[in-house]
Amino acid sequence: MATREESAEVWYHRGQALCSTRDYDKAVVCYDKALELSPGDPVRWRRKGFALIKAGRCDEALACFDRALALDPEDATAWQRKGYALAHLGEHNDAIACCDRALTLDPEHVLARQSRGWVLGAMCRYDEAAACYEGVLAIDPERGSAAWHRDRMRERRNLEALASEIREAERFVEVPACIRDVARERDYGNVDLARAVLRELVGQAERPAVQQP
């Protein structure tokens, strides 16, 4: 006769298999069965929380991560995933705090560092976000998703800088429509050129004033 733990293990692995096929709601049912039989396993609470996030049920996921952390407060992955759930609920500062806790426990936790970058990007803190992705690449240079996100953060930072420079330039010159279009259309490929042209136009406008006796 199978023990309760053996039966819990069976249900847990069924949940894992369903997650691998992205059938997250059914996976949650399996994790529930496993937890009914073995409620003191923090990994199973964490895995249920992950499936709930994927199913779009972030409030429920948050409760699972809290249960996992009550059982094992040193679980860096549970802290990272709690942060991910909080970010989806719009609690960005708390999400960053969770990622920071995960990184205190495991400084090379790639997903915690990457999640932190994602949250900072959502807060428009692009330089900090890019630095997080650089940290990921220092640990795992082959992680292409981190390089992609780092580059996107830099593009958004530069686009934001262009928008600010346009507002400042309007005090001195008529800003050409083509430069405004770069900012309005988020034409990342031409941001650097637009900024250079705008600086030259402002410089030309300022030089006669400087040369006056």
Instruction: State how far the Cα of 14 lies from the Cα of 158, in Å rounded to an integer.
Output: 47
| C-alpha to C-alpha distance for 79 and 103, rounded to whole angstroms | 9
Kindly report the pTM of this predicted structure.
Answer: 0.84
Residue 190 is classified by DSSP as G
Q: d(Cα 126, Cα 152) in Å, to the nearest integer? A: 9
Task: Note the CATH architecture for domain 1-73.
Answer: Alpha Horseshoe (1.25)
CA separation, residue 107 to residues 101, 110, 120, 190, 194 (Å) = 10, 8, 18, 37, 39
List, for residues 154-212, the tens digit of each pLDDT value: 999 999 999 999 999 998 899 999 999 999 999 999 999 999 999 999 888 876 654 55
Place of tokens 């800003």: 175
Please report, for the chain, the start and end positions of each structural domain, with discontinuous segments joined by +. 1-73
Look at residue 204 in the predicted model and tell me its pLDDT.
Answer: 87
Q: How confident is the model over 139-165, as pLDDT tens digits?
A: 999 999 999 999 999 999 999 999 999
